[in-house]
Structure 1
Amino acid sequence: MTVPPPSTDTGGLRRALTGRQLSMMGLGGAIGTGLFLGSALAISQAGPATIVAYALCALVAFVIAWALAEMVVVHPEAGSFGAIAQRYLGPLAGFVQRWTYWTIQVIAIGGEIVAAGLYVRFWWPQLPLWLLVVVFSVLVLGANTLAVRFFGTVEYWFAMIKVIAIVVFVGLGLVLITVGLPRSPATGLANLTSHGGFLPNGMEGLLLAMVFVLFSYIGTEIVAVTAAESERPERDIPRAARRMVLRLVLFYVLAIAIVLAVVPWTVTAHSGTVDTSPFVRVFQSAGIPAAAGITNFVVLTAALSSANTNLYLTTRMLHSLASDRYAPAWTGRLNRTGVPRNALAMSALGLGLAATLSATAADSAYLALFGISIFGALVVWILILVTHSAFRRGSADPSPVRLWGAPVTSGLALFLFAVMVSTAFIDGLDTAWIAALPFFAVLIIAHVVITRRRAR
């Protein structure tokens, strides 16, 4: 297959995002409910060994982020990895990847908004979840109507709140573990080996935990999606990707280690439910109710920040599809400030889904949205690695950014495929297969129909 030359086509989008904003947007997209809320589900499977799961999945995230940086530096165009997949794997791959990514992020936005509602009910449990979902939906839609430079500034400070909070949490947790607090003696590290040992559910529990932990790292690809609106993509994209992954590893591994050291994993897991964040439980166990309330506010802003960033992602991906005539032309139109508002309106479908589920199935809404999102995200990551392998073979211009160990590292696609298959055997996530198989069948049929129509 002949590969088209490198392109810098932005599809009309404006290059207004700085390197500083890119780094914080990457953290903002990744640090959300996967860490603050979904970590309880991982801990219920692996216990203290969840620390190992976060460390291993960090390696996967690093490979994905660096592979994307290598490709996007050569092709800093609208559509990011979806457009690059179309170059190197063909139109069907680009079509499926972009629509899959758009769909799962739309659903993930709903999951983040539902989580935000659950956090508010920490203070006011009598409030209906659907009402909170509607209020927060209006908030993130408003933020995304701003010009991209102003949006980048809003998200920068949104993300800064949770970064500072995690740093404070880690510092306070280390004090609680080593010397204790006025009302709480030092916990030490006994909780990491008590209650069944470090690996209470064996290797099977560790592997199952990795399914939930991988979800915490979904969002690292945002740096690549911003390439078309980056001021200097050849410099800022690799730098932002490197900083983002390193910070995520530090924050995730340290934060989870402190959670598991301070509170017995059997308490934190809470039978795998998602009523209360394990981070809030740390401060409840330390006897600091005010700090628990503050932490709950922080994780609330984290969920909103993640939803805000992911709504940005879906809007740009749909704009890319419209540019290639794979989505209705009206979704690709920009307003006078360079924002694809029609694509934004269509990407708000996940917010409507979240409101509906929170009204009809409040107890299971988060897990249902979670399962579908993780399945689709794994498909996208696998296609990214396959695209990177084809990029290495077919690119005429070698990238100045090179992924270490490639193409051996592309073998992670097989591991991700195994994880995806394992979701069929996890209660609550198995329903994703029921939705996924018909979804991909519809995508393939839609591509055939569109291709034939365009040919005529």
Structure 2
Amino acid sequence: MNNNNMRRDIKTFALTMTGLGSIIGSGWLFGAWRAAEVAGPAALIAWILGTLIILFIGLTYAELGTMFPEAGGMVRYAQFSHGSLTGFISGWANWIAIVSVIPVEAEASAQYMSSWPFDWAKALYNGQDLSATGLLIAAVLVVVYFLFNYFTVKLFARVNTTITIFKFIIPGLTILGLLIAGFHSKNFTHYNGFMPHGWAGILTAIATSGIVFAFNGFQSPVNMAGEARNPQRSIPIAVIGSILMAGVIYILLQLAFIGAVKPDMLTHGWEHIQLNSPFADLALAWGLNWLALLLFADAFVSPSGTGMTYTATTARMIYGMERNGYFPKVFGFVNPKVGVPRAAMWLNLVVSFIFLFLFRGWGSLASVISVATLISYVTGPISVMVFRRYGDDIVNRPLKIKGMQIIAPIAFIMASLIYYWAQWPLTGKVTLIMVIGLPIYFFYQAKANWKGFGQDLKAGLWLVIYLIYMAFISCIGSSKFHGHNIIPYGWDFIIIIISALIFYFWGIRSGYLTKDLKNGYQPNQGEMDAGR
């Protein structure tokens, strides 16, 4: 019996709904408010730019996903192109970012409950952190996400598709309700103008206000590629389709939010709007009680749908990390009856509880998640170009996106810029989190008697130096991004763009024919079954 027998039960529509369901989670409940706080009405530009940037990055992973239709694929590509060091750093960053989304979604539901018209509900959240009761509610929700994924892939797919359809309806009603009930066009120009904090505010909003965080969900179809019935067709449709559909929804939500804010809320400017449950609070302010009730219900549905999806995808990521050689074999075991890596799910449940009690509010984790994910994003554009150097006898290429020679470097530059826009010292803190994981890498290298370590170190040196360099530039960069202003605003962008291109070409040159590719990529049994 093959322990790696992932079942290919997910069709194109369900896979697209998985991506869209991951993107439309707690991000839509809080993202418009947080972006408006940082950028004012210009948050609209932030969402448009964010959608385009993530689309460029997503295109590189759409091609990678069809080459290697693996469960947990996002943590595997860098391993295939650059060996163990790059693979571990990329996989570790991605796993940390994605597994922490599970408790964040649960916290979002509990936080929205604090606006319920009950005294006990108001005590759930104090404006910064959840109370003990709020954390207990969030913990119960995390367990619910776990149970929906524990028994079968088909149950997850059916429940997620139903929830995602519901997610279309509620944001749509929110947009219509707020636009009709009270739309103040003056909100876009008064109160310090359309761009109260200039371009710096717009760019920071992309990085830290939930925009990158929201779009992280495009990874879900890639990570579940090993269970797609027709990955060559489904993955690109699911990735591109979910990003574009979600982008339109988020832009319209931001438009409705800015117009619906009452003038008396803006007395002290956009950065001082205090809302525990942003859209629900606005609905109540305009007397839209029916909409507020729907939003309170959706505060469970939307985050829960995303939480369930991430519970599924993080288990596949642990499965992928085990296949890379960084976790015990038990985490690579897939239950043959239900096609689910249950041991990996138990590990992620424990880690989710740790994050839940370390970070007790939605906002405290969203920016950290975004920056950590960007570290894994920078390897995708490089890996896809490394694989293009090889023939079809080494890498099967069912999908070859036109213009990738231009798309890939733009995606790498954009990811680098967002990393910088996240502001110092957050960039330094996230880089430190990456260092914390290295002892695990060195433990498994020592266990393997350092076999191939020299070559992998040489191939991964570009990424190690890149992370240190980016943290350093963030530290000495413009004061607009909380740096020490040694590099003035404007020049910092030029330096990062030039530096990113240098690291991009260095990264491509560092790729080599790893053992996984040299021996011929061996799909798991589920992949072979799909090809019959």
The bucket for the TM-score relative to the shorter chain is 0.7 to 0.9
2:82 pairs with 64, 82, 89, which one?
89
Q: Match for residue 3 of structure 1?
A: none
Deviation at 1:206, TM superposition (A): 1.0
Residue in 1 aligned with 2:240? 242
Deviation of the 1:153 alpha carbon: 0.6
User: CA separation in 1, counterparts of 2:13 and 2:434?
Assistant: 40
Match of 1:227 among 225, 228, 252: 225
Shift of 1:244: 0.9
- Asked if structure 1 preserves the Cα contact closer than 8 Å seen for 2:104 and 2:356, the reply is no
Q: Which residue of 2 aligns with 1:110?
A: 103
- Correspondence for 1:217 among 191, 215, 218: 215
Is the Cα–Cα contact under 8 Å of residues 47 and 265 in structure 1 kept in the other structure? Answer: no
C-alpha spacing 1:66/1:51, structure 2 compared with 1 (3 Å): same
Q: Specify the alignment match of 1:4 in structure 2.
A: none
- How far apart are the structure 1 equivalents of 2:59 and 2:272? 33
Structure 1 residue 334, shift from structure 2 partner? 2.1
Give the Cα–Cα distance (whole angstroms) in 2 for the partners of residues 134 and 334 of structure 1: 26
2:388 aligned residue: 392
Q: Give 1:328 shift.
A: 0.6
Do the aligned partners of 2:38 and 2:271 also contact (CA within 8 Å) in 1?
A: no
Partner residue of 1:418? 417
Q: Could you say which residue in structure 1 is the equivalent of 2:487?
A: none
Question: Partners in 2 of 1:193 and 1:33 — Cα distance?
Answer: 28
Which residue does 1:5 correspond to in 2?
none
Q: Write the letter of the residue equivalent to 1:130.
A: L
RMSD over aligned CA atoms reads: 2.7
Q: Counterpart in 2 of 1:197?
A: 193
Contact 1:147–1:337 (CA under 8 A) maintained in structure 2: yes
Q: CA deviation at 1:240?
A: 1.6
- 1:452 match: secondary structure: coil
TM-score where L is the length of structure 1: 0.87
Corresponding residue for residue 173 of structure 1:
178
Percent identical across equivalent pairs? 23
CA 1:272–1:321 in 2, change beyond 3 Å: closer, same or farther? farther
Q: Are the structure 2 counterparts of residues 270 and 448 from structure 1 closer, same or farther at C-alpha, using a change threshold of 3 Å?
A: farther
Distance, in Å, in 2 between the alignment partners of 1:231 and 1:10 is 19
2:167 matched to which residue of 1? 162
Q: Tell me whether 397-406 or 377-386 shows the greater mean CA deviation.
A: 397-406
Is residue 405 from structure 1 mapped to residue 410 from structure 2 by the alignment?
Answer: no
Q: Which moved more, 1:126-135 or 1:23-32?
A: 126-135
2:25 is matched with 32
Q: Which moved more, 1:401-410 or 1:150-159?
A: 401-410
Structure 1 residues 65 and 315 mapped into 2: Cα distance closer, same or farther (>3 Å)? same
What secondary structure does 1:25 align onto?
helix
Per-residue CA distance 1:267-291 (angstroms, 9 max, x = gap) = 4887478852322233123221232
Structure showing greater radius of gyration is 2
What is the CA–CA distance in structure 1 between the aligned matches of 2:451 and 2:122, rounded to whole Å?
Answer: 53
Helix, strand or coil for the counterpart of 2:115? coil
Cα distance, 1:201 vs structure 2: 0.9
The residue type equivalent to 1:377 in the other structure is T
The more displaced of 404-413 and 136-145 is 404-413
Does the Cα contact within 8 Å between 1:32 and 1:303 map onto a contact in 2? yes
1:65-144 paired onto structure 2 within 5 Å: 65-123=58-116, 124-127=121-124, 128-144=133-149
Distance 1:312 1:391, change over 3 A: same
**Secondary structure at 2:122 match in 1:** coil
1:347–1:326 CA distance, 2 compared to 1 (3 A): same
My pick for the range that moved more, 9-18 or 152-161, is: 9-18
Q: Are 2:279 and 1:279 equivalent residues in the alignment?
A: yes
Letter in 2 for 1:433: V
Aligned to 2:499: none
Any conservation in 2 of the 1:147–1:339 contact (CA below 8 Å)?
yes
SS in 2 for 1:122: coil
Alpha-carbon distance between aligned partners in 1 of 2:383 and 2:265, rounded to the nearest angstrom? 42
Contact 1:40–1:274 (Cα < 8 Å) also in 2: no
- Aligned-residue offset at 1:104: 1.7
Change (3 A) 1:420 1:375: same
1:45 and 1:209 in contact (8 A); partners too: yes
Distance 2:229 2:141 in 1: 30
Answer yes or no: is the 8 Å Cα contact 2:26–2:108 preserved in 1. Answer: yes
Q: Tell me how far 1:136 sits from its aligned partner.
A: 0.8
| Alignment pair present for 1:337 and 2:334 | no
Q: Is the 8 A contact 2:183 2:259 kept in 1?
A: yes
Unaligned 5+ segments in structure 2 are 125-132, 454-532
The answer (yes or no) to whether the contact 2:265–2:273 under 8 Å persists in 1 is: no
Distance 1:72 1:283, change over 3 A: same
- CA deviations on 1:205-248 (whole Å, 9 max, x unpaired) are 11111112222211111111111001111121122223212211
Tell me the equivalent position of 2:44: 51
User: Could you tell me whether the CA contact under 8 Å between 2:206 and 2:212 is conserved in 1?
Assistant: yes
Tell me if the contact between 2:142 and 2:307 (Cα under 8 Å) persists in the aligned partners. Answer: no
Contact 1:375 1:432 (8 Å CA) reproduced: no
Distance 1:355 1:306, change over 3 A: same
